[in-house]
Amino acid sequence: MARGRAVRRFRRARLGGPFGGRSDRGAVSIFVGLCAGGLVLVIALVVDAGGKLRLAERVDSYAQEAARVGGQQLDEAALLQGQGYKVQRAYVEEAANSYLRLYGLSAYRVEFLDDGATVVITVRAEYHPVLLGDLAIRKVTGKGRATLVHGVKEAETD
């Protein structure tokens, strides 16, 4: 009996494969586990990157609409005094923030170009990833621009 056991051990040691006689049972399980873990990480990165892109698109849209709302705040006193079409700067930020509050945001920066005829609104939001948690929290910035135009038959921007 002992001789048969010794022969089996010897054969297993000689024919056992690349691990010097050790069985390679379970090696595939480890490989599959590592590949599955890597695949889950790649899926998490794709899902969270897509979420960040969607938020960036929404923040751009909100900034554009806030600039449009702010750009509608016409300075009537300047117009009546013959100073041309300009926005009322005191009301632009208030109107833009009033719009942005609907979405839980506020204007990060309000700029005026072209002597008050163009309003540029910058909005910032924070992206909280779904799968990666606090590892990938990022700031997302959106920018919108609106130019005050006037005219009866076609837009003028003088």
pLDDT of residue 135: 73
pLDDT of residue 123: 93
pLDDT of residue 144: 92
Q: Are 52 and 127 in contact (CB under 8 A)?
A: yes
| Full domain range(s) for residue 73 | 25-147
Structural domain includes residue 113? yes
Structural domain includes residue 14? no
Q: Domain tally for the chain?
A: 1
The packing angle between helices 27-71 and 89-101, to 10°, is 140
Torsion angle of the four alpha carbons 90, 96, 99, 100, in this order, in degrees rounded to the nearest 10: -130
Structural domain includes residue 152? no
Structural domain includes residue 8? no
Structural domain includes residue 9? no
pLDDT of residue 156: 67
Structural domain includes residue 6? no
Structural domain includes residue 68? yes
Structural domain includes residue 117? yes
Q: Are 92 and 111 in contact (CB under 8 A)?
A: no
pLDDT of residue 59: 93
Angle at 45 between CA 59 and CA 128, to 5 degrees: 40
Residue ranges of the chain with per-residue pLDDT less than 50: none
- At 95, give phi and psi (nearest 5°): -65, -40
